[in-house]
Amino acid sequence: MISSLRLFTLAALLISTQAATTPTITPPGHKGLPNQPIADISHPTTDNAAIVQAVTEVDQKTAPPIDAAPNINIAPTVVTAIDGTITNTTVDAVAPPTDRSDSRKKRERKFGRRAVPKFEKIFDGLPQGQHDASVEGTAYLTYTVVNNATYNVQACLDWCAGIDGCVFVNVYQEFNNYLLDFVFGEKSNLKCAAYGDIHTAAEKTNFGGQASYPQVGNETVPLTFMTQSSGWGLNTLVDPDTPDGYDLVGQFKGANNAPGYMGFSFLDKYDVNACAQLCNGRGVDPNGGGCAYFNIWRAVVDGTPTTYTCSMYYLVADASTAVNFGQGNLIVTLSRGYARKDLLPDGGFEGYTDCDEFCLTESYANWIGTSPSGGSYDASIFYFEAYAHTGHGSALLGAAFDEDADVGTLSPAQPIKTESGANYVIQCFMSSAFSGQQLEAQAKVDIMWNGQRVGGVSGFQEYAFVQASAVGTGSDKLAFVGGSAPAWTFIDDCHIYKA
């Protein structure tokens, strides 16, 4: 039988052993330092060398195929390169839209009525009877044929004016094309090829030379050829509409060379909506989060439009970094920057500035922290660089002074103004590492949208990206609920974007 003295000795030994293995933690409210220090973040800048190299490798020039019927629907925008890898795929395959019908409606270039723009002659065709060449250029859209009783340029221009995005027409006659002569109902060889970019006579490189007629015995098959190939265009590309969920930051003389770079894609047309979809679906940078900004621009090489670059960033850039005007024979043109609309005011908690180094509060103008009855500072906001993912502001769930183990609630001061029925993403960085793996194992945060859980995290983790999806009602209540000291969770760099 164990004596009472021995029982006392064993109990004392157990207590001393627990004390030796349980770390002493200074809570965040008393300026304690994290068990796992927050790593400094370096923001990569635009990889201009990779973009220029890809420009030399990709070929986006095309013309009406010899066997294509007239008036074919304009194809969706194609991605021709991703981060330097040449490809040939649709935007939907790279970044599927949340609402396919809505996205396709906004992206496709359509036929329809619009104010007739003023076209000017860019170049003349060779005189009638001389073999000529048609344009092979970027941003080819579609073609039609018009009555060839005369060289009917105006009919081509009127047709182009009814196509969204058409800014240039190559007018020419194509001979010895069996389909034009005998198969297609128009029975005309006067072609109008529509493009979404302006081209010059230097791009007249398609001389024909194909066998289109069927072989009959040993007869010689006539080869196709072109005559009277002229070009008609506007002064510049049509100003695009701003994509849904974005704001135009500006039109720049150069491309952005900015921090927060996430990569680039080439498009076969100057399509800001396609670039926006690529940004929305880009994926996540482990340090910076989701795409928040894109820069679209046209590369002109030796005077010829060559590619349309969509560069993406997790930080919003502006004109101050639009300093890449080109390299060598490549000139940057038509550069525009677009920032994703963030519906969450002060998602980085940088608006709390009541001190120069260290302070905290339960609420301020942009955010409200609440505790259960009897709780204290179970949701709080800090000004302290050592706790922040970036900057100096961050929020904390769990009693800041370790006075209770209650769950706190952190909410924006005002409801989120959304569009009813629209899809949104809530993005944040969260860290449950302050107390170490053992004590933070019980950490848990729920992301609540109008009282319903839409996402969250649990367990030990250093600052990591967290995302949840929600549907807008017009006025929505967001809340982060969690924390149970010493299982604290820090929150920083939050955004709400339209999906």
The per-residue pLDDT for range 174-200, each reduced to its tens digit, is 999 999 999 999 999 999 999 999 999
CA neighbours closer than 13 Å in the CB half-sphere of residue 367? 30
Mean pLDDT of 453-465: 96
> Could you identify the residue written with the tokens 């009127």?
158
Q: What percent of the chain has pLDDT over 90?
A: 85
Tens digits of residue pLDDT in 263-304 = 999 999 999 999 999 999 999 999 999 999 999 999 999 999
Residue the block writes with tokens 């809340």 = 479
Confidence category of residue 17, pLDDT binned at 50, 70, 90? very low
CA–CA separation, 91 and 78 (whole Å) = 6
3-state secondary structure of 473: coil
Confidence at residue 35, expressed as pLDDT on a 0 to 100 scale:
83
Find out whether 180 and 174 touch, Cβ atoms under 8 Å: yes
Average pLDDT for 482-499: 97
Q: Determine the residue type at 388.
A: A
Mean pLDDT of 129-155: 96
Residue 21, φ and ψ in degrees, nearest 5: -95, -20
Summarised one tens digit per residue, pLDDT across range 349-379 is: 999 999 999 999 999 999 999 999 999 999 9
Structure tokens at 342: 């963030």
In three-state secondary structure terms, 17 is helix
| Cα–Cα distance, 308 to 330 (Å, whole number) | 12
Q: Compute the distance between CA of residue 120 and CA of residue 168 in angstroms, rounded to an integer.
A: 9
Topology of 345-498 in CATH?
Answer: Jelly Rolls (2.60.120)
Bridge partners of residue 496, in order along the sequence: 426
Q: Between vectors from CA 305 to CA 309 and to CA 191, what angle results, nearest 5°?
A: 120
Does 41 have pLDDT greater than 90? Answer: no
High-pLDDT (> 70) share of the chain, %: 92
Residue 316, C-beta contacts closer than 8 angstroms, at least 6 positions apart: 249, 292, 293, 339
Rg over CA atoms, the chain? 31
* Residue 390 tokens, joined: 């970036």
What is residue 23's predicted lDDT score, i.e. its pLDDT?
A: 60
DSSP state of 485: T
**Do 386 and 12 meet the contact criterion of CB atoms below 8 Å apart?**
no
Which pLDDT score, from 0 to 100, does residue 218 have?
A: 84
Sign of CA dihedral 367, 372, 373, 374: negative
pLDDT digit string, tens, across residues 421-438:
999 999 999 999 999 999
One-letter-per-residue 3-state SS of 471-499: ECCCEECEEEEECECCECEEEEEEEEEEC
Fill in the DSSP letter of residue 50.
H
Q: In this predicted structure, what is the pLDDT of residue 275?
A: 98
Mean pLDDT in residue range 306-335: 97
- Mean pLDDT of the region 410-414: 98
Whole-number Å distance between alpha carbons of 107 and 380 = 43
* Gap between the Cα atoms of 272 and 241, Å rounded: 8
pLDDT of residue 423: 96
- pLDDT band, very low/low/confident/very high, at 115 (cuts 50, 70, 90): low
Beta bridge partners of 368: 363, 411
Evaluate if residue 13 carries a pLDDT over 80: no
Tokens of residue 274, six digits: 């396609």
Q: What are the structure tokens assigned to 134, written together?
A: 């048609």
Give the mean pLDDT of the chain: 91
d(CA 295, CA 242): 13
Check pLDDT > 90 for residue 305. Answer: yes
- pLDDT of 231-264, one tens digit each? 999 977 778 999 999 999 999 999 999 999 999 9
The answer to whether the predicted template modeling score (pTM) of the entire model surpasses 0.75 is: yes
Check residue 475 and give its pLDDT.
Answer: 97
* Alpha carbons 498 and 244: distance in angstroms, whole number: 8
Q: What is the pLDDT of residue 112?
A: 39
What residues does each domain of the chain span? 48-57+240-340, 109-233, 345-498
